Amino acid sequence: MFNWLKRLGQPTTVKPAQFAEETYQGFAIHPEPLIENGQYRLHGRITQLNTGELQEYRLIRCDLLPSAELAATLMVAKAKRMIDENGSRLFD
């Protein structure tokens, strides 16, 4: 009866198809902002196909932003920085 109360504080993902995947140095970056209380949390995935196995790193930050587009843009920028700094060590 009160299921809507349980879902009130839970973050929900914006439709993943809304933001295009971007490739960078052999990695795929998937921005997937989370909506929380009318703002968008920086969230997404970095993936790489390595010897036939898909490896995935989830990137989530505490940054809350006013639009999903801004959250997606910043997620891609932070993902590129992480790739530059860590490379394949992301999956260790």
- Domain-embedded: residue 7: no
- Domain-embedded: residue 59: yes
Q: What is the pLDDT of residues 9-26, one digit of tens each?
A: 565 655 544 899 999 999
- Domain-embedded: residue 4: no
Q: How many CB atoms lie within 10 A of CB 41?
A: 20
pTM: 0.79
- Domain-embedded: residue 71: yes
Residue 29 domain boundaries = 14-91
Q: What is the pLDDT of residues 34-84, one digit of tens each?
A: 988 889 999 999 999 888 889 999 999 998 999 999 999 999 999 999 999
CATH of the domain at 53: 3.30.160.350
CA distances for 87 relative to 26, 40, 55, 73, 83, angstroms: 10, 27, 12, 20, 5
- Domain-embedded: residue 41: yes
